[in-house]
Amino acid sequence: MSSKAVFDDLLQEEREFPPSPEFAAAAVVSDKAIYDRAAKDPVAFWEEMAKELEWFAPWKEVMSWTPPDVKWFTGGKLNLTHNCLDRHLKTATRNKAALIWEGENFETRTMTYQQLHTEVCKFANAIRSLGVAKGDRVAIYMPMMIEAVVAMLACARIGAIHSIVFGGFSPESLSDRINDAEAKLLITADGGWRRGNVLRLKDEADKALAKCTCIENVVVVKRPLGEPFPCHIKEGRDHWYHRLMADASPDCPPETMDAEDPLYILYTSGTTGKPKGIVHTTGGYSVGTYATTKYVFDLKPEDVYWCTADVGWVTGHSYIVYGPLQCGATNLIFEGAPNWPENDRFWEMVARHRVNVFYTAPTAIRAFMKWGDDLPAKHDLSSLRLLGSVGEPINPEAWMWYHEHIGGGTCPIVDTWWQTETGGIMITTLPGVCTAKPGYAGLPFPGIQATILNEAGEEVTGGTGLLAITHPWPSMLRTIWGDHDRYVSTYFSKWDKSVYFPGDGAKRDAKGNFMILGRVDDVLNVSGHRIGTMEVESALVDHPAVAEAAVIGKKHDIKGQSIVAFVTLKGGATRSEKTESDLKQHVVEKIGAIARPEAIIIGGDLPKTRSGKIMRRLLRDIVEGRTASDTTTLADPSVFEEIREMYEEKFKS
């Protein structure tokens, strides 16, 4: 893995936004001393957080660390659903809305904590009756519906390990993930609505199932409300959710889980063609998501909280389901898209549901900017008191727009840096005590120790370097499913094996605030979605016409990055617009629509060294509009010029 230390570091940001005195006075954290206290003894800080949750048996040791492996709350017993559900049944939270769901067609359903508890217990019994037991893997492939949350919690209730695959992934991506985890149950739905179209998930799942031998049973949720979508039900294998639920008992005591028992697997892209199954455990993940939700989102019992992510991504796991439910929050969840039926859907919803805390991605914010200031201005957004951002660096221009046009110039913004692997938020501002700076994520969360290192592992004090996490934290991944060596080599081999390497570039200001500058490895971030260049390259060379492929991320105004592919064809294949569109479609079929290349340049050859290695650096120069950095090792300079001309022709506007 080579670090291309080419950062967009021209930015000098000096604007500062402290919280208003009113916000600070009412905040969950109103004393900055928490940082010093946690820094002195991070392990004691996390133990204090853990004590706010309910455990069936206490831990014997808070942390045991044999780098790079770590265990948290060793010997402690708990069940995460007890802290999400049962614990609240003893208080007034019992009758509070846990989930407010809104469908694309404006239907709404509300479920209280008590109702959610009943639903989860029944479904837990239902999947048990299908032979699912503690430690078994369950794949979930669902649209944004209440039953997706129920499915996750039902797994956690009985100690089954869920593996959610985002509904936008292709059948092939789904079958790869099912097979890697050897899941025995798949939970899916007949379909959902997306921008006026029906997403027929069961049909997609059926295509995947043709390539899976490990799946024994499939549960299919019929989308509640509205017309159901027709789909095929295979007798003996497929079961309707509502039929199972009609017979299920609501009595399901939570399985006693060890703190280190796996809770879930979530696949994410890396630098090879094969996604990594990130494994999170029960105890540490509970504590990490609980503490960060409470402190970063400053949740008050009366708040309506809306995170616009999908449960298919880690943001949905940690900040729609596990963190907010442990905090007893009221969660708005939305099936649809921000631009359906109109571009002001989100603001119309914020006004109608009186949303207080709103968490979204920079790519969405940049789209809102483009759609115009008049759209948020049409709606009463005065209920909002805190805004969040996640998924990629937020450019200061988008930060300022969010602040002014959504936050009314008063809401603090928390820019939260974290990853699928970290389980929870790692770097951000605590909104009641920190001064935010556009473009800066802020300080490591209390109990998190981060720094910036160079390749040699020396600390960088001024200027840019590589982000490094120097101490374990409870919600960190414990392994990659079935491949512990890859865990060690990806995350703990850059420097000392006690230091976690996230793969991001960063710099710090004089006060220690971190600005995250983006990935330094071969991982792209397209609209906040993580996609490996190698995955797209593998999908392209899988096409019968393609000989070679190289994929580069191109800066994109709304998406952050878009995908540009350079390919050469096998003898006999013709270079044409039809070939280009066929190849794009092939990538969509292999991975999913999120990986569709913006452009494919079909050259006679790719720039290579004399030993035949593709020089991606030169392709990056083309895409970034730079003069070629160093062409001396290039075998045939005319190849490079031909490709550059083709590229410029394609993008001239």
User: What is the binding site for ligand WT7 (CB under 6 A)?
Assistant: 268, 313-315, 390-393, 415-420, 441, 502-504, 516, 518-519, 525, 530
Nearer to ligand WT7, 393 or 474 (CB): 393
The DSSP bridge partners found for residue 565 are: 551, 600
Residue 455: which residues within 8 A CB-CB, separation 6 or more? 3, 466
- Smallest gap, in angstroms, from Cβ of residue 364 to ligand WT7? 13
- Smallest gap, in angstroms, from Cβ of residue 269 to ligand WT7? 8
The pair of three-digit structure tokens given for residue 372, joined into one six-digit string: 């115009």
Nearer to ligand WT7, 229 or 290 (CB): 290
Contact 560, 363 (CB under 8 A): yes
Report which secondary-structure segment, H or E, holds 141. Answer: strand 137-141
Nearer to ligand WT7, 128 or 317 (CB): 317
Nearer to ligand WT7, 159 or 465 (CB): 465
Nearer to ligand WT7, 268 or 451 (CB): 268
Rounded CA separation 620/616 (Å):
6
Which amino acid belongs to residue 272?
Answer: T
| Per-residue exposure over 33-66, b if at least 16 CB sit within 10 Å of its own CB, e if not | ebbebbeeebbebbbbbbeebebeeebeebbeee
- Smallest gap, in angstroms, from Cβ of residue 286 to ligand WT7? 18
Residue 584: which residues within 8 A CB-CB, separation 6 or more? 596, 597, 600
- Smallest gap, in angstroms, from Cβ of residue 343 to ligand WT7? 24
- Smallest gap, in angstroms, from Cβ of residue 84 to ligand WT7? 20
Residue 569: which residues within 8 A CB-CB, separation 6 or more? 545, 546, 547, 575, 579, 602
- Smallest gap, in angstroms, from Cβ of residue 515 to ligand WT7? 9
Nearer to ligand WT7, 141 or 399 (CB): 399
- The dihedral through the CA atoms of 404, 407, 412, 415 has a sign that is negative
Q: DSSP state, 90?
A: G
Tell me, letter by letter, the H, E, C secondary structure of 303-366: CEEEECCCCCCHHHHHHHHHHHHHCCCEEEEECCCCCCCCCCHHHHHHHHHCCCEEEECHHHHH
- Smallest gap, in angstroms, from Cβ of residue 41 to ligand WT7? 27
- Smallest gap, in angstroms, from Cβ of residue 529 to ligand WT7? 7
Nearer to ligand WT7, 154 or 365 (CB): 365
Nearer to ligand WT7, 382 or 489 (CB): 489
Nearer to ligand WT7, 147 or 415 (CB): 415
CA atoms within 13 A on the CB side of 526: 22
- Smallest gap, in angstroms, from Cβ of residue 190 to ligand WT7? 28
Nearer to ligand WT7, 113 or 417 (CB): 417
Residue recorded with tokens 């694309």: 104
SS3 assignment, position 411? coil
- Smallest gap, in angstroms, from Cβ of residue 300 to ligand WT7? 24
